Structures are given as C-alpha cells and as structure tokens.
Structure 1
Amino acid sequence: MTTESTAATPPRALLWLVALGVFMQMLDSTIVNTALPAMAAGLGESPLRMQSVVIAYSLTMAMLIPASGWLADRFGTRRVFFVAIVLFTFGSLLCAQSHTLVQLAASRVVQGLGGAMLLPVGRLAVLRSVPRKDFLAAMSFVTIPGLIGPLIGPTLGGWLVEAMSWHWIFLINLPVGVVAALATLRFMPDARSAVGRFDLGGYFMLSFSMVAISLALDGLTELGTQHAGMLVLLIFGLASFVAYWLHATRSPRPLFPLGLFAVHSYRVGVLGNLFARLGSGSMPFLIPLLLQVGLGHSPMEAGMMMIPVALAGMVSKRLIVPIVRAFGYRRVLLVNTVLVGAAMASFALIGPAQPAWLRIAQLAAFGMVNSLQFTAMNTVTLRDLEGDLASGGNSLLSMVMMLSMSLGVAMASGLLAAFTSVFGAVRGAATLPAFHATFVCMGLVTAVSAWIFWQLEAKRRFPVSAPVDPL
C-alpha cells in the first residue's frame, strides 16, 4: 500500500527539486577530476596517486544504490531524500576541510552515501507523483542536468582551482545543498510502500565483494610486500561474490532476483555494461591528468578541453534511434564498442606538437561514440524487463555502472603506475609514454568487450523508441 502525505505537491516544483539533486551529484562527479593535480599539490601527494578520491566516491555509490529503493519505501521518499541532501552537503564540507589524502577519501565516502540516493529516490518520487503517461517527459526534464553537469563541471573546476583553490569545488555545494534541503521539506511527497524483509545477508556479501575486489585492484598498484595481502583480499572478494550468488539461489526475496538473468538481453547487456565501461569509466580520470601532468595545461585549459566531449555526447543522443532502427542493436553495439576502444587508444597519439584543432576533434569523436555506447547499452539492457523485474534490473544496472567506474579507475591508475615505473618517468612530459601505453591498454579492454554484444540475437527484435539512458 502506498501513501502520500502531500498529494497536492506541485509536480513542477518536485521536478525542479529532483533535477537540482541530480545536478549536484553529476556536477560533483565531473568537477573533481580536473582538480586532482591541484589537490595532490595541496596535500603533498603525487597526482598519479589520487585515484582513491574517485574510487571512494563511486564505490560508495555502487554499494548503497541497491538499498536506496528499500530505504525509500520503508522510511518515505521525503525523509530519505532529505538525509541524502544533508549527507552530500556535509560530505562536501568535510572534503573542503581535509588536510590529508586519507581524510579526503573518507570524506568522499560520506559524499557518496548521499549521492547514491539522490537519483534513485528522486526517480521513485517522480514515478509515484506523475501520471504514467507523463513519466517519460518528466524524467527527461529531470535528467537534463545530468547532461549539463559534465558540460560545465570540468571548466568550472579548473576556474575555481585557478581563481581560488581546490577547496571551492566542494564549498560551492554548501549553499545549493541548504536550498535543496529546505525545498525537500516543502515539496517532496512522503511516498512510501509496504516492504518485505530486506536481504541484509545478501547485501553485505555483495557489498563486501565489491569493496574487496576494488581495494585489491587499487592496492596492487603499489609495489612491494603489500601484493600478498591484496591478493588475499581479492580472493576473499571473489569468494564473497560466489557466496552471494549461492545465497540468491535459495533466498525467497534476494537483493536482486536471479530471474533477471533469465532474460537474454538483460544478461548480455549488464555484462557488456560492466566490461565496456571499465575503459570508458577511466577516461574522465585519465584525460585531465594527461592534459595537466603530461602536457602542462592549466586546470582551466584542461577543463575547457573537456567541453567538446560533453557537447558531442549531447548531440549523439539524437542519433541513436535512427541508427538502431537502420542497423539493429547487435550490429550497432559490435561496431561502436570497437570504435570506442579505438578512440581511447588514439589518445596515445597525443603530444605537445599536436594541433589544438585536431585534439578537439579527437575529444569530440570520443564523446560522440562513447555517448552512443552508453545509450545503446542501457536501452538494450532494460528493454525486455517487465513487472517486478524492472525495478530490480534498473537498480542492478545502476550499481554495475558505478562499480565499473571504480574498477576502471583502479585498473587505469595501476597501469599508469606500472608504465611510469617501466619508463622511469617521474613527472612532466616524461610521463607521456606511460599515459600513451595506458590509453592503448584501456582501449583494448573496451574493444575486446564487443564480443559480449556479439551474443545478442542477430535479428533486431527489440522495439526502438525513446532511448533509456539512466544516469
């Protein structure tokens, strides 16, 4: 049974509120990458060792996303969304006050606790407050800030670092968070539903698996005796994942129903998302580092160079429907996955003598094929889910997206550290060979994942309409 204590809530005000929450989360996801070298300088760290700032946030989000829907049903959308805003804002304040890398990573965990609930709970509130016939239009309005955030985030981050300090990329969240928290108490409906028992055992097994595997991959980037401990942690993580799978086969209400994997398109799509996003998820981390550490650009210049990526991605959203109608999902994903890998590997050609126009064209080409990839993968993954499977499938996909970003950054930072050691580089232009080799490897990982999409049925049996593009 669903109840709403504020049935008269103006839908437009609710949509603006949820859009504001999405904007906060997406802006923070992109603004930080440009400021990593400045953060490293302020904290006395190497800019090539700052991956924990990104991993801590994305991994925390991946962990909490599976529980966000149950929490909203149990405690109400208003209360959970308010807590999410408060946690995100408080985490931003803690980030700005951090004096060591460990403190900053821990503060990003607090931020991630709030950020993980903003979009899922906001989407749930919109679903229960807007007539079903208007839901697609409402969600399109809400997710527009998700496209604007990557457009202005890197440039804003670069400007704040140069004009003030890296602390301000977090401090700007404070006034927005206060406004959003007050608006939540006024406009967010208190929707809730009767829920069954939460699969706490399965949740802990799956969460431990994600954390252990991510930390093990990140820890393996360090040389020395820590390797043995990281290998043990990796084994524990894999064992925990197997334990969750066995638990889900006999649990009456598992965290994610195994019936999801009986749907062929979902099974292929979610595995394709996991492996194809390993490379793509590392690019927002690698590109600003390449531009600043490898090529000597200022934070502002590096941020502006990311604009073509976001603009091309926005343009490509309009192309996916006619392209899929003409060629079908299988062929589009096979070819485009290889193109994404090739575009990533092409960054190995970047050097100080490269003309600016060619670099911009290269970034725009990557942004276009990468955006096409995300939209096509997400749509084919969720297209055939119906009834109770739709909610669980969407949550699992969102979790996989954040997990792959965390694993991708850990993998890329590990490769970068290894190649830096091989080439004997320490800083500046001498790191270029290490960056080049890392881009080639991550591009190959992405291109090889095209084999997963080859498993889709050759005949185009999926109806093509408005693309599904969850953030």
Structure 2
Amino acid sequence: MNNSLSSNRLTGLTLLIAIAFFMEQLDSTIAVTAINNIADDLSVHSTTITMAIAVYIMTLAIFLPIGGWSAKNFGCKNTFLSAIILFTVGSLGCGFSNNIYLFISSEIVQGVGAALMVPVGRLFVIQNSKKSELAKRISILVWPGLIAPIFGPSLGAYITTYYSWHWIFFINIPIAMILFVLAWYFLPTEYINKQSRIKLDSLGFLLSSLMLVMGLGSLDWLSNFGINNIVPWGLLTSSVILGVLLNHHISKSKSPIISLAPWNNDVNFKHTLISGSICRAALSGLPILIPLFLQSELGLSMIESGNIILTMFAGNLLMKMFTTSIITKCGFKKPLIISSLISALSILGCWYGQHNISYICVMLFLIGCMRSLQFSLYNTLAFSELPKPYLNSANVLNNLFTQISFAMGITLVSIFIRLGSNSDIISSNISILPFLGFASLALLPLFFLLFIEKDYGNSVR
C-alpha cells in the first residue's frame, strides 16, 4: 500500500476514478434510445447499430485482462491515462461518424479504453485502501454502475430529441479532458522495474477473447432474434469448450492472462463472485424492462417512463448514506439475505401495481435501495479478506463476471418477454413472466450465500 497517500487524497482520487467509471458505464446505455436515429443517418438497419453497440461491450470484456497485465507492467497511472486518451479518441470518432465502418471502428477503440479504465482504477483504490476504509471506497466506486443504466436511456432520449445523436458521444470529451488533467497531477507515479515485467500470455488472451466473443455473441443473438435458433446455442457451446481449453492453459502457464488463484484457493471469494453475478443479472435488466412495461401497458412516452425510472436513482442515493453503517453493525450475510427478499418482492410488486403509478414508484424506490446496498456489499465482500498478491487477479475476475452478468440481464429481458408472449418477436403486451423470472433470479443468490462463512468480511467492519 502507498502510505504516502492521505485518507482525504485517496477519497478524492476514488471519486475521480468513479467519474471515469460513470463515463464508461453511461456509454453502454445512453445510445440505446438513439439507435433508430443513428441508423437513419448512417443509412443502415437499426439492428446493425444494435450490433455495433454490442461490439463495444464485447471489446470492453475482451480487453479487461489486458488492463490487469498493463497495470503490472506499466503502472496504474500510465495505463489509466492511456485509457482516457483511447476512450476520448473513440468518442470523437463515433460523434463524427458518417458511415458504419467508422462508427464500429470507433466503438472498438472506445471499448479498449474502457477496458483499461475499469480494472486499473479499481485496482489502484483497492491496493491503496486500508481494510477499515475499503467499504467506504467501494461504495463510492459502485455508484456509476447504479446510476448510469438508469440515467443513460433518459439522457440519450433527451439529447436525441432536442439536439442530435452526435452529442451523445461528444459530451464525453470535456469530461475526459478534465479527468486526464486531474489524473495527471494527482495520481501517484509508481516505479516499475523493467526487469520484473511479465510477457503477455498471447495464447491465453486469444482463448479468452474467443470465449468471450462466442459467449457474449450468443447472448446478443438470443436478445435480438429469440431462442428458437441453433446459432446462439452453437456459439454458447463453443464458448464453453473454449473456456475448458482456457482453464487447462491457465493451469499450465507460469504467467497466465487471467489468474484463477483467488477462485481456486478461497471458496468464500468464489461464492461471493457467483452470488453477486446472479444478483447483478437480476437487477441490471430492470432499467430496460420497466420502461418497456410502462410504455406498453400504461401508454407512457419514452421520456415519461424514463422519468419514473429515476425513482430508482433516489433509492440508490438514499441507501448510499447508510451502507457503511449497515456493514459495520450487521456485517454482510444478513443484509444480503434481507435485501434479496425485498428485491424479489418489489420486482413482483411492479407488476401487481401496474395501473397505479405511485405504487410502482414506491416499488422502484425500494429496488433502488436494495440494488445500491447489494452492489456495494458484494463488491466490498469480494476483496475484504484477500491477501495483496491476489488483488490484481481477483479484480480482473470480478470485472469480467460483472460485465457478463450485466449482458445476461439485458438478454434475459428480451427472452422473458418473448416467452411470455409465446412469440419470437417482442410483444406489445408484457406478461407477468419477466417479473416472475427476475424475481426468481433475485432469490437465487440466497443458495450460494449459504456457503459463505458467517464472519467472512469482518476485517473491514
């Protein structure tokens, strides 16, 4: 740990990194409402733009392991600054795109930049935080993942309606410039011994890349075209096979692209990662499902339904005030069990209160509170008892699982709606099935929580 960093300075740097995360997370959702406008301007079908956005998410996931490797070899500061530059160049390219090829290429550049920002920024905070302050720092880092999916679609709709879709990407530029200057001056420069640099595990990177492309590609295919097709299942099977090959390679490699040491040697970390990923999948689809539900069942406009979703944001903010106190007084397991139950009941409550806007707002507020609490608890618990040598690899694994779970949550929205309408196209009427599906998924982490030791994480209380 870098003892030269004061607590206040580290808190400020944590906030700076959180803003960078917010910029990256926002880019994953803000363009969703502008798909048709972008497609019209670039003279392509809307599904092509959907696939271009999926390319950004895939690129982000693929290059996450490179972020951990780069931090080891070139330092957190150099990697983080390079990531901001790449993300800015990608944003400019997207905004100035006049054809689909430039747009997709720019999305790839953006994805690489985002992949370097995500693990490196979090790793810096985790490595430099005392155990007693870890919960507070993680709580700050979690808020971008909570707020961006809620704000993104509404902000995208507003910008597209009153300005143009190009500004969805241009708004990143001033934020990125400010972040770069602040990071340049305030992030400490680490001394990296060139003799200790590790060669990139090219074969491991190739296998992990193909595995993620196949896996995320299958989810994207299922989301857009339904389950009655052999292609996504073939992609998913290929992804599993590649995962087996990657695991074999990692077990033989001295310096693998992804180290499984925390997963293999700490059963509590393993079950925290699994239960946390299921929780994120259950809750990440709601900012998409609820607006669709409000528009189809209550006839609300895109902006009106987006405004109602902001009640989740209010719940997120309120719970942030109490998260650290809850961890200190109650630990992790009990709050996670209670919040899982409340989340499931609140999800079902949204369906049963479909003709009462006020009732739905109360349910969304509760979901926002539980979502904030659960994300903070899982992220803190995952790193709470790990020794320092495991932090880098655990951070990469946590980020990979997070990206996959978010993609899975979005895919499940489409799958549940199609199953509920008994059709391969998304119906104009949304049945209770999606709500039952996500409520059941919100309860599933309870099973894996049984395998986590009761006092695990006490060192950060």
Normalized against structure 1, the TM-score is what? 0.79
Q: How far off is 1:111 after superposition?
A: 2.0
Does the 8 Å CA contact 2:204/2:249 hold for their aligned counterparts? Answer: yes
After superposition, the Cα gap between the structure-2 partners of 1:134 and 1:188, relative to the gap in structure 1 and judged at 3 Å, is farther
After superposition, the Cα gap between the structure-2 partners of 1:299 and 1:166, relative to the gap in structure 1 and judged at 3 Å, is farther
- Specify the alignment match of 1:169 in structure 2: 168
Normalized against structure 2, the TM-score is what? 0.81
Distance 1:15 1:327 in 2: 25
Name the aligned partner's letter for residue 314 of structure 1: L
Name the aligned partner's letter for residue 447 of structure 2: W
- Specify the alignment match of 2:269 in structure 1: 266
Q: Which 5+ residue runs of structure 2 have no aligned equivalent?
A: none
Does the 8 Å CA contact 1:416/1:438 hold for their aligned counterparts? Answer: yes
- Specify the alignment match of 1:156 in structure 2: 155
Distance 1:47 1:340 in 2: 34
Distance 1:44 1:432 in 2: 30
Q: How far off is 1:71 after superposition?
A: 1.1
Residue 391, structure 1, aligned to residue 389, structure 2? no
Name the aligned partner's letter for residue 243 of structure 2: F
* 3-state secondary structure, aligned to 1:256: coil
Residues 220-229 or 55-64, more deviating:
220-229
Question: 1:82-115 CA deviation, whole Å, 9 max, x = no partner?
Answer: 3312221232233335578887566433322111
- Specify the alignment match of 2:229 in structure 1: 227
- Specify the alignment match of 1:7 in structure 2: none
Does the 8 Å CA contact 1:34/1:302 hold for their aligned counterparts? Answer: no
After superposition, the Cα gap between the structure-2 partners of 1:220 and 1:131, relative to the gap in structure 1 and judged at 3 Å, is closer
1:69-468 equivalences in 2 (<5 Å): 69-97=68-96, 107-124=106-123, 139=137, 143=141, 146=144, 149=148, 153-181=152-180, 188-193=187-192, 194-221=196-223, 227-254=229-256, 255-292=258-295, 295-323=298-326, 328-349=331-352, 351=354, 354-420=355-421, 422=423, 431-433=428-430, 436-457=432-453, 459-463=454-458, 465=460
Q: How far off is 1:227 after superposition?
A: 2.7
Question: 1:429-461 CA deviation, whole Å, 9 max, x = no partner?
Answer: xx2325x4323223222323321212223x435
After superposition, the Cα gap between the structure-2 partners of 1:192 and 1:137, relative to the gap in structure 1 and judged at 3 Å, is farther
Distance 2:456 2:170 in 1: 49
Q: How far off is 1:319 after superposition?
A: 3.4
Distance 1:415 1:23 in 2: 28
* 3-state secondary structure, aligned to 1:433: coil
Distance 1:199 1:19 in 2: 29
* 3-state secondary structure, aligned to 1:191: coil
Distance 2:331 2:14 in 1: 33
CA RMSD of aligned residues (A): 4.0
After superposition, the Cα gap between the structure-2 partners of 1:197 and 1:48, relative to the gap in structure 1 and judged at 3 Å, is closer
* 3-state secondary structure, aligned to 2:63: helix
Question: 1:123-182 CA deviation, whole Å, 9 max, x = no partner?
Answer: 455678x78699759947973873665675454333213222333222211233344445
Name the aligned partner's letter for residue 235 of structure 2: L
Does the 8 Å CA contact 1:260/1:389 hold for their aligned counterparts? Answer: no
Question: 1:332-383 CA deviation, whole Å, 9 max, x = no partner?
Answer: 33342233233334333354xx233222112111111122221222232222
After superposition, the Cα gap between the structure-2 partners of 1:222 and 1:388, relative to the gap in structure 1 and judged at 3 Å, is same
After superposition, the Cα gap between the structure-2 partners of 1:131 and 1:277, relative to the gap in structure 1 and judged at 3 Å, is closer
Does the 8 Å CA contact 1:73/1:192 hold for their aligned counterparts? Answer: no
Does the 8 Å CA contact 1:51/1:410 hold for their aligned counterparts? Answer: no
Question: 1:284-338 CA deviation, whole Å, 9 max, x = no partner?
Answer: 3333443446544334323322322122112223434554566553343334223
Q: How far off is 1:393 after superposition?
A: 1.1
Distance 1:439 1:105 in 2: 34
Q: How far off is 1:388 after superposition?
A: 0.5
Q: How far off is 1:282 after superposition?
A: 1.9
Name the aligned partner's letter for residue 463 of structure 1: N
Distance 1:343 1:138 in 2: 27
After superposition, the Cα gap between the structure-2 partners of 1:57 and 1:366, relative to the gap in structure 1 and judged at 3 Å, is farther
Does the 8 Å CA contact 2:228/2:424 hold for their aligned counterparts? Answer: no
After superposition, the Cα gap between the structure-2 partners of 1:341 and 1:167, relative to the gap in structure 1 and judged at 3 Å, is farther
- Specify the alignment match of 2:67 in structure 1: 68
Q: How far off is 1:402 after superposition?
A: 1.1
Does the 8 Å CA contact 1:312/1:367 hold for their aligned counterparts? Answer: yes
Distance 1:380 1:461 in 2: 8
Residues 29-38 or 358-367, more deviating:
29-38
Name the aligned partner's letter for residue 432 of structure 1: N
Question: 1:267-286 CA deviation, whole Å, 9 max, x = no partner?
Answer: 11011122222222222333
* 3-state secondary structure, aligned to 2:229: helix
Does the 8 Å CA contact 1:31/1:154 hold for their aligned counterparts? Answer: yes
Name the aligned partner's letter for residue 231 of structure 2: G
